[in-house]
Chain A
Amino acid sequence: MKKIIIWILFIALFLILSIGIFDMPTSPTLDAPSYNETIHYYLENGVNETGAINIVTAVITDYRGFDTLGETIVLFAAIVAVSSVLRIPSKKNEEEAQKHE
């Protein structure tokens, strides 16, 4: 019984995702859902306001600069987590830690 439900769910999800693929724009078209007035603003004023001719970089570091700061902090959090769990303390650091205790 459990297996049948799993297969039905799997097939339903597969069909939905397949329909989604056929709606994806394969080339830039006018009726794509992401083609709205925001893109016009960026394309017309982007070079004047930021000075960067690569509009993707202008968006991710200038218009959406705060989001990119968050992304960088996520990397920092990842490195802090991994080194606090997996890092092997060198002998010198360990002796210092014991001295403080």
Chain B
Amino acid sequence: MDIINAILIIILVICAIAVERTKDLVSAIIIFSAYSLFMSVVWLLLKSPDVALTEAAIGAGVTSILFFAVISKTERFEK
């Protein structure tokens, strides 16, 4: 169980760094959505299914769609 936790946390750190390094904002949002999915698995392993459900619905679903809507009004690439 500890090994699974460690792997998930390492994936979270990699995702967080990748979001910051990516210049293409659409890819950054997709990586951020993957981050939220892994985060919801971590919440499930910490035995809080309520937070996991909310994180999967809001973090992975609604937040990324709202970010896409904002990008469609501005620019796709970071300067």
Are B2's CB and A26's CB within 8 A? yes
Tell me if A26 and B50 are in contact (CB < 8 A).
Answer: no
Q: Is A70 an interface residue (CB 8 A)?
A: no
Looking at A25, A26, A27, the one whose CB has the most chain B CB atoms below 10 A away is A26
Chain B residues in 8 Å Cβ range of A26: 1-2, 5, 45-46
* Chain A interface main SS type: loop
- Check B65 for interface membership: any CB of A closer than 8 A: no
Chain B residue total in the interface (Cβ 8 A): 9
Q: Indicate with 1 or 0, residue by residue over B47-71, a CB within 8 angstroms of chain A CB atoms.
A: 1101000000000000000000000
Task: Tell me whether B50 and A56 are in contact (CB under 8 A).
Answer: yes
Question: Within the assembled complex, what's the spacing in Å between the Cα atoms of A24 and B12?
Answer: 15
- CB closest residue in chain A, given B4: A26
Q: Is B9 an interface residue (CB 8 A)?
A: yes
A to B contact number (C-beta, < 8 Å): 14
Q: Could you mark each residue 18-57 of chain B with 1 if its beta carbon is under 8 Å from any beta carbon of chain A, else 0?
A: 0000000000000000000000000001111010000000
Kindly report which residue of chain B lies nearest to residue A14, judged by CB atoms: B13
**A21 is contacted by which of B9, B47, B50 (Cβ under 8 Å)?**
B9
CB neighbours of A33 from chain B (8 A): none
Return the chain B residue nearest A60 by Cβ: B50
Give the chain B neighbours of A56 by CB distance below 8 A.
Answer: 48, 50
Question: B51 to chain A: closest CB distance in Å?
Answer: 9
Residues of chain A at the chain B interface (Cβ within 8 Å): 21, 24-28, 56-57
- 14 A-B pairs with CB atoms under 8 Å apart are A21-B9, A24-B46, A25-B46, A26-B1, A26-B2, A26-B5, A26-B45, A26-B46, A27-B1, A27-B47, A28-B47, A56-B48, A56-B50, A57-B50
Besides the contacts A26-B45, A27-B1, A56-B50, what 4 more A-B pairs have beta carbons closer than 8 Å? Answer: A21-B9, A25-B46, A26-B1, A26-B46
